[in-house]
Amino acid sequence: MGASVLRPDGALKVSGEFAYSSDLWLDGMLWGATLRSPHPSAWIRSIDIGPALAMPGVYAVLTHEDVPGEKFYGLENKDQPVLAIDQVRYQGEPVALVAADHPETARRAADAIVVTYGEREAVTDPRVALERRMLVRHQPVRVGSTFSADVVVTGEYEVGMQDQAFLGPESGLAVPAEDGGVDLYIATQWLHVDQGQVAPCLGLPPEKVRLTLAGVGGAFGAREDLSMQIHASMLALRTGKPVKMVYGREESFFGHVHRHPAWMRYEHGATLDGRLVYVKAEILLDGGAYTSSSPAVVGNAASLGVGPYEVDNVHIDAYGTFTNNPPCGAMRGFGAVQACYAYESQMDRLAAACGLTPVEIRIRNAVSQGSRLATGQVVDTPAPLAEMLRDLDAMPLPESVSRDLRDLPGGVGQTTHGDGVRRGVGYGVGIKNICFSEGFDDYSTARVRVELLGGEPHVLVHTAAAEVGQGLVIIQAQIARTELGIDHVTVAPADTQVGSSGSSSASRQSYVTGGAVKTACEAVRERIEKDGRPLEVILQDGPIEETREYRHRRTFPMDPVTGQGDSHTQLALCVHRAVVDVDVELGLVKVVELAAVQDVGKILNPLALEGQIHGGTAQGLGLALMEEIQVRDGKVLNPSFTDYLIPTILDMPPMQLKILENPDPNAPYGLRGAGEPPTLSSTPAIAAAVRNATGLPLSRVPIRPQDIALA
Amino acid sequence: MDFLRPLTWAEALEMKAERPDATPIQGGTDVMVEINLDKGRPTALLDLAAVAELAEWTRDNGTVRLGAGVSYTRLIAELAGDLPGLAQASRTVGSPQIRNRGTVAGNLGAASPAGDSHPPLLATGAEVEAESVRGSRMIAITDFYRGVKRNALEPDELIRAVRIPVATGPQYFSKIGTRNAMVIAVSSFAIAFDGRRVGTGIGSAAPTPRRAPEAEAFLESALDWSGPLDADVARRFGELVRDAAAPIDDVRGTRDYRLHSLAVMARRTLTWAWEDHLRCA
C-alpha cells in the first residue's frame, strides 16, 4: 500500500494489445446495428421492416413489438423505451435493430427500414421547458433571511454540453445460453444495475442474465446508462446466435448521455472586507429527452452550489429540465462541475469588488473542519482549504513566454511569434461529494479466497467492480497483499457471479470496493488467526473464503423545500492555479502550467493517483477551452473527433502537484475519492486566467476564439 | 468495390483510362475516412502506393518536382529549406501518423477548401502536373480549384507531381485551429516573397482556396523595399486579404471570426517576412 505498483493493463493499453469490448469475437457470431431517429421530436406513423428483412445475410429485424418484457428502462426512472414505440423524443433515439452476418450488411439493412415520421414541435430551449414546468427535478436550498450586503456582485454563466469522449465506443457481445438466458460481455460501469435493467426488458429473471465485464475503453459516466445491452441480447435471443454490437464514433455520440449544459444566474453579497453574507443562485441544467441520472445531478448542483465556502444565507433553485435535446446524465463531476464554474467566477468578481486577491477572498471564506455547508451538513472531517490555497500560492510560477511554436498559443499553426500574447493567472477551488448521496444504499461486495496453488498460498479477489481505466484492479490487489501479507494475488474478472459492487462512479470504488476487499480480507485473516496453525497447514484442509459487503456512512435525502440534510458521506477538495498565454488578437490560448493541491486522505498508489489528477485536470481544460457538443434545434452538429475537440499533449501543460494526506477517519485507510475533484477546479482556474490575460468577463465555457477576438 | 493496384505509373494511367470512375488512393487519410463514414462508396479504388516513381522528388531549374507519393513527413524533413511555406503547412497536418501517409497530391485530389497545402501552393504559384494516357499537362494552381471538393482533373487524369518554385525569399504559413495540434483549419493564410512580388493564399475561407490579388497588387505598389515596414501598409494588406475571402459560419468557426483572423494572420506574416527580408538585405 502506498507504492506505485504498475497496473496489469497499463503496458497492454499503451502497446495496443489490450482486448477491449470491441475486440470480442466468437465464430458464427452476427453483427447488430441500430436504426436511429433523425428527428428530435416526431410521431412514428409506421415502420416497414420488409426491405431490410429481404436483404441476404439479414437474420433479424426487431422493433418495439419484439421487446420480450418491459418496454421501458432507466437508471432512476424507467421512462426510456428500449425501442421507440409511437414517438421519438431526441435525435438518435433507437427505433429498430438488425442482426446480420456482416456489420456492413447490418448497417445497410438498418438504412433500408422505412420509418414514416410525423415531425412535431421540438422543445429545445431549456428556459422554455422551465416556463412550461417540464421538470425532472427542482431542488431548492433555503438558509437564513439576510439577502442584502455592502458588496453585491451578480453574474450569468453558461456551460456548454461536454461529452465524456471515451476512446472505446459502446460495444459488447451477447451469447444466448442453453437455459434460455443470455451471457453478456460488456463494457460498463456497473454490471448489476445493467443486469437489473436488462433482465426485465428481456422478460427473464436476473439470474438468467449473466454479465461479465469486457475491456472498457474509458467511461467518465457515459457507461452508467444502458446503450446496446438490451438490444444485443434481444437479437441474440431471437436468432439463437451470438450477436456483437460496436458503435462507430459518430453513433457513439448518439449512444450515450452527455454532461448537462447549464445556464446559471448568481448573486453574491459580502461585507466590505470580503466575507460572504449571502448567495442566491438559479441553476438550470438541461437533461434532454429522458430522466437518466438528472435528479442526482440536480441534487449535487444544489447541495454544492455555493462551493466550499462558509455562508449563512443561501437561496438556491436548481432545476433539471426535459427537452428534445440529447439526453444528459452522468459525467465526471456530476452537477458539481457546472456550479463550480459559476461560483468560482463569482468569487473572482467579488475579489475585484472588494480589492482582494483571488487567493485572499477564497481563504477568507474557506470551509474547514466544523464548517456548515449550505445543506446544514457539518464538515466533520479535515477540510484544510485555506492551507491548500496558501500551498498553491507558494508554488513557483513558470518562466516567461517561450519562443517555441509548440509553447505558444496556436501551436505549430504559427499564428504568433509572440505577437499579441499576454499572460494570465487564475485560481479555482472545487468541492465534490464522494460516493452516492441523498440516502442511496451504497455498498460493495467482495469475495476473498485463499488457497494453496503449487504448495504456496494464493489470494483470489472477486468483485463485480468495473475497471474503467481508473486503476481499480491494482488497488484491489494492493489491499489484499497488504491485509493478508501474501504476495500472490489474482483479481478475478468482474462479473455478476458475485454481489454488486455498485458503480465505478462518484470517485467511490477505492472507498467502497476497497473497503469491501479490506473487510473480506480481515474476515479471512481472523479465521487464520483463530485457527492458530501456520497458514500452509490450514490451507491443506481446503481454501478459506469469505464474502463481505461494505457500506459507507448512511446519507439522508435533501429536504424538498429547504434542501437541508446530511446528504453526503464524504467531501473532497481540489484547488488549481492556471497560467495561460493568450493571443488576445486571435483569441487562441495556450495553457502554460496547471498547479494543483488535492487532499486525498491517504495515497494508495501514487502513480495511479497522479494519473487521475492529471486526467481530471485535462478534462476540465477541455471544458474550459474546446470541448462542446454543438446542438442546434435539437440536432448535434459535430458528432466526430474531427469537430469535437479534446485536448492533445500539446494542449495539456506540465503540472505541479501537491497531494495532502489528512485522513478521513470514516473511510478505509482514511482515503478520500480522488478522480473527480480536479475536473471541477481546473475549468474555472483556466477561465479566470484567460480573464486575467484579456480583461474580458468571459461568462461562458468553453471559451471560443471569437469570444476573445471579437469581444 | 474493385481494388486496382498498379505497380508502375504507365499501368496506373492505363487503369485510370479504363476505369475513369476509380478513386485514386495514396495515403488513404482522406479516402478511407470517407469510406469509413459511409459518405459515398467508390465503385473502384486505384491504389497508387506501390508506384515507386511517385515517391520521389527532384529539383531542377529552381523548381521542385514533388512526386504525388511524397509524404508530408518527408517533405518536412527533406524540403523545408527549398519550400519553407509548404513545409510549415505540412507540419500542421493532422498527427504524425497522418503526416507519415498523407501527401500534397492527396490534398489536391480531395480539393477541400480546408486543405493545409493549398495556401502555400497558391502563394508560390505552383503548377499541378496532370497526366493521362493522352499525355501530360501543367495546370496552374489558380486554375486547379473548381469548387468545394472539385478540381480541374479530367476523369482519366491522375496527379503525377506538383511543381513548386524553390523559395527565393521569405515564406510563412499561418493556420487557426481551436486546439494546438491535430486540427482542421478554421482559416489559414500563406505569404511568399519572390523578388519584389508577394504571393498570397487563403484557406478555409471560401468555397475554394484562393489568392488575394488586390492585396498582392497593393503591396507591389505600396512597399518601400529598402526601409522598415509601414504599419499602415501592413494593416491595409491584412484588410485586403480579409476582403478577398468569402467565408461561412460553420461548426468550426464563424464567418466574422474567419474574416478577422485572416486580417491578423496576413498582417503578422507580412511583418515576419519583412523582418526576414531586412535581415537578408
Strand boundaries in B104-220, DSSP class E: 127-132, 135-140, 145-147, 150-151, 158-165, 171-176, 187-194, 197-203
Query: Which whole-number Å values give the CA distances from A288 to A125, A161, A701, B249, in the listed order?
Result: 10, 11, 19, 26
Predicted local confidence at residue B37, as pLDDT: 84
**Cα–Cα distance between A191 and A185 in angstroms, integer?**
10
| Chain B residues inside the 8 Å CB shell of A105 | none
- Minimal C-alpha gap between B132 and chain A (Å): 34
Chain A contact residues (CB < 8 Å to B): 107, 248, 250, 406, 409-417, 419-420, 585-588, 590, 625-626, 630, 637-638, 640, 642-643, 645, 647-651, 704-706, 709-710
Which chain A residues are within 8 Å of B188, Cβ to Cβ?
413
Within a domain: A127: no
Cβ separation A586–B271 shorter than 8 A: no
**Cα-Cα-Cα-Cα dihedral sign, residues B211, B217, B218, B221:** positive
A465 & A433 share domain: no
Q: Sort out which chain A residues have CB atoms less than 8 A from B274's CB and list them.
A: none
Among A406, A706, A708, the residue to mutate for chain B (most B Cβ within 10 A): A706
Cα separation, A316 vs A298, in Å, equals 11
What are A224-279's pLDDT values in tens digits? 999 999 999 999 999 999 999 999 999 999 999 999 999 999 999 999 999 999 99
A236 lies in some domain: yes
Interface touch A647/B179, C-beta < 8 Å: yes
Give yes or no for residue A401 having a pLDDT over 80: no
- pLDDT, one tens digit per residue, over A623-661 is 999 999 999 999 999 999 999 999 999 999 999 999 999
Taking CB atoms and an 8 Å limit, are B264 and A585 in contact across chains? yes
CB contact under 8 A, B268 and A416: yes
Q: Are residues A271 and A371 in the same domain?
A: yes
Question: What value does the mean pLDDT take over residues A356-376?
Answer: 98
Are both A580 and A634 inside the same structural domain? yes
Mean pLDDT throughout A670-682? 98
Inter-chain CB proximity A413 and B256 less than 8 Å: no
| Structural domain range at position A679 | 262-437+559-709
Instruction: Mark yes or no for CB contact B174/A630 under 8 Å.
Output: no
Report the residue from A414, A415, A648 with minimal CB separation from B179. Answer: A648
Chain B residues within 8 A of A642 when measuring between CB atoms: 184
β-sheet bridge partners, residue A183: A175, A210
Of B36, B182, B256, the CB nearest to A648: B182
- For chain A, the average pLDDT equals 97
pLDDT band at A403 (very low <50, low <70, confident <90, very high): confident
Whether B181 sits inside 8 A of A412 (CB atoms) is yes
Instruction: Give phi and psi for A136, each to the nearest 5.
Output: -85, -30
Q: Distance between terminal CA atoms of chain B?
A: 57
When pLDDT is averaged across residues A276-284 and rounded to a whole number, the result is 98
B22 contacts B42 by C-beta, under 8 angstroms: yes
**Nearest CA-CA partner of A568 in A280, A187, A302:** A302
According to DSSP H, which parts of A284-399 are helical?
294-303, 336-354, 358-365, 385-394
Q: How far is CA A286 from the centre of its chain?
A: 16
CA distance linking residue A271 with residue A269, whole number of Å: 7
Which of A102, A415, A416 to mutate against chain B (most B CBs within 10 Å)? A415
Mean pLDDT by 10 residues, chain B (281 residues): 97 98 96 88 96 97 97 98 98 96 97 97 98 98 97 98 98 96 96 96 97 97 93 98 98 97 98 94 73
Q: Looking at chain B, which residues constitute the CATH 3.30.390.50 domain(s)?
A: 171-280
A414 contacts B174? CB cut-off 8 A = yes
**Do A648 and B186 make contact, defined as CB atoms within 8 angstroms?**
no
Q: Is B257–A590 a contact, with Cβ atoms under 8 angstroms apart?
A: no
> Which of A411, A586, A587 is opposite residue B180, by nearest beta carbon?
A411
CB A459 within 8 A of CB A488: yes
Together in a domain, A584 and A621? yes
| Packed helices A229-239 and A191-202: angle between N→C axes, nearest 10 degrees | 50
Contact B264 A587 (CB under 8 A): no
Partners of residue A176 on adjacent β-strands: A182
Residue in A closest to B173 by C-alpha? A414
What would you measure as the largest C-alpha separation in chain A, in angstroms?
78
Cβ-defined contacts of A116-120 (< 8 Å, 24+) = A116/A44, A116/A45, A116/A46, A116/A47, A117/A37, A117/A38, A117/A39, A117/A42, A117/A43, A117/A44, A117/A45, A117/A88, A118/A42, A118/A43, A118/A44, A118/A45, A119/A39, A119/A41, A119/A42, A120/A41, A120/A42, A120/A43
In a domain, A100, yes or no: yes
pLDDT value for A399 = 83
For testing the chain A interface, which of B178, B191, B258 should be mutated: the one with the most A CBs within 10 Å?
A: B178
Minimum CA–CA partner of A406 in chain B: B180
Q: Note the pLDDT tens digit of each residue in A111-140.
A: 999 999 999 999 999 999 999 999 999 999
Do the chains contact at A648 and B265, CB–CB below 8 Å?
Answer: no
Distance CA A210, CA A189 (A): 15
What the block records as the C-alpha cell of B89 is: 503547412
Rounded-to-integer distance, Cα A697 and Cα A346, Å: 11
Nearest CA to B159 among B179, B138, B173?
B138
**Amino acid at site A161:** M
Residue A390 contacts by C-beta under 8 Å, 6 or more apart in sequence?
Answer: A359, A363
CA distance A446 to A483: 14
Residue A454, classed as helix, strand or coil, is coil
Q: Are A20 and A187 in contact (CB under 8 A)?
A: yes
For chain A, how far is it from start to end, CA to CA, in angstroms? 52
CB contact under 8 A, B252 and A643: yes
**In whole angstroms, what is the distance from residue B273 CA to residue B264 CA?**
14
The pLDDT of residue A117: 98
Q: Which residue has the cell 506505485?
A: A4
Q: Is there a domain that residue A648 lies in?
A: yes
Query: How close does chain B come to A404, measured CA to CA in Å?
Result: 13
- Closest CA–CA distance from residue B36 to any residue of chain A (Å): 9
Looking at the complex, report in whole angstroms how far the Cα of residue A646 sits from the nearest Cα belonging to chain B: 8
Please say whether the beta carbons of A597 and A658 come within 8 A. yes
Q: Is A704 within 8 Å of B37 when comparing Cβ atoms? A: no
Buried/exposed A380-407: b ≥16 CB within 10 Å, e otherwise = ebbbbbbbbbeebbeeeebeebeeebeb
Judged by CB atoms closer than 8 Å, whether chains meet at A413 and B38 is answered as no
Residues of chain B contacting A406 with CB distance shorter than 8 Å:
180
Kindly determine whether residue B268 and residue A417, on different chains, have CB atoms separated by under 8 Å.
yes
With CB atoms and an 8 Å threshold, state whether A417 touches B174.
no
Structural domain includes residue A126: no
- Listed residues A255, A279, A311: the one ending a domain: A255
Q: Are A705 and B88 a contacting pair at CB < 8 A?
A: no
What pLDDT digit, counting tens, does each position of A84-97 carry? Answer: 999 999 999 999 99
Residues of A within 8 A of B257 (CB-CB) are: 587, 705-706, 709-710
Q: Kindly report whether the peptide bond that precedes residue A702 is cis, defined as omega within 30 degrees of 0.
A: yes
Contact A7, A475 (CB under 8 A): no
A240 and A268 together in one domain: no
Question: What digits encode the pLDDT tens for the residues A303-362?
Answer: 999 999 999 999 999 999 999 999 999 999 999 999 999 999 999 999 999 999 999 999
Nearest to residue B174, comparing CAs of B185, B192, B189, B186?
A: B189
CB contact under 8 A, B254 and A638: no
Longest dimension (CA), chain B: 61
User: Same structural domain for residues A547 and A628?
Assistant: no
Question: Residue A454's domain is classified under what CATH number?
Answer: 3.30.365.10
Report d(CA A186, CA A468) in Å as an integer.
Answer: 12
Say whether pLDDT at A402 is over 80: no
Interface residues on B facing A, Cβ-Cβ cutoff 8 A:
36-38, 88, 91-92, 172-186, 188, 251-254, 256-257, 260-261, 264-265, 268, 271-272
Residues A177 and A274 grouped into a single domain: no
Shortest distance between the Cα of B157 and any Cα of chain A, in A, equals: 30
Which strand (E) or helix (H) includes residue A84? none
Give the position of cell 485572499: A360
Cα B63 to the center of its chain, rounded Å = 16
Chain A hits for B184, CB-CB cut-off 8 Å, are 642-643
> Following DSSP, what letter does each residue of A97-113 receive, concatenated?
EEEESSHHHHHHHHHH-
Q: Which residue of B has its CA nearest to A588?
A: B178
**Domain finish residue from A551, A581, A614:** A551
pLDDT at site B39:
85
According to the model, what pLDDT value does residue B36 have?
87
From residue A27, alpha-carbon distances to A24, A31, A32, A177, A185 in Å are 10, 12, 15, 15, 15
The answer to whether A524 and A450 have CB atoms below 8 angstroms apart is yes
Note whether A506 and A552 are within 8 A (CB): no
Give the homologous superfamily in CATH for domain B171-280: CO dehydrogenase flavoprotein, C-terminal domain (3.30.390.50)
What is the per-residue pLDDT across A446-491, written as a single tens digit (0 to 9) for each? 999 999 999 999 999 999 999 999 999 999 999 999 999 999 999 9
- Contact pairs from chain A to chain B, CB under 8 Å: 101
Q: How close B116 gets to chain A, by Cα (Å)? A: 10
Chain-chain contact of A413 with B264 (C-beta, under 8 angstroms)? no
Nearest CA to CA, how far is B172 from chain A (Å)? 9
Split into its structural domains, chain A has a count of 3
CATH tag, B1-47 = 3.30.43.10
Domain with CATH 3.30.43.10 in chain B: 1-47
Q: How many CA atoms lie within 13 A of A605 on its CB side?
A: 22
**Mind telling me how many Å the CA of B30 is from chain A's nearest CA?**
12
Residue A58 lies in a domain: yes
* A579 plus A537 within the same structural domain: no
The answer to whether position A211 is within a domain reads yes
Supply the CATH number for residue A197's domain: 3.90.1170.50
Sign of CA dihedral B234, B236, B239, B243: negative
Q: Which residue of B has its CA nearest to A409?
A: B180
Residues A537 and A564 grouped into a single domain: no
In terms of Cα–Cα distance, which of A507, A551, A541 is closest to A673? A507
Do the chains contact at B180 and A250, CB–CB below 8 Å?
no
Set of cell numbers at residue A113: 427500414
For residues A520 and A661, membership in a common domain is answered with: no
The answer to whether residues A539 and A684 belong to one domain is: no
Beta strands A313-321 and A421-434, pairing class: unpaired
Shortest CB distance from B268 goes to which of A409, A419, A709?
A419
Residue type for B231, please?
Answer: A
Q: Of the residues A517, A551, A585, which one is the last residue of a structural domain? A: A551
Copy the grid coordinates of residue A331.
Answer: 459525467
Do A543 and A662 lie in one domain? The reply is no
Is-above-0.90 flag for pTM? Answer: yes
Interchain proximity A410–B177, CB inside 8 Å: yes
Q: What is the mean pLDDT of residues A18-41?
A: 98
Across the interface, whether the CB atoms of B251 and A637 are under 8 A apart is answered yes
Asked, for residue A157, whether it belongs to a domain, the answer is no
Residues of B in contact with A650 (CB under 8 A): 179-181
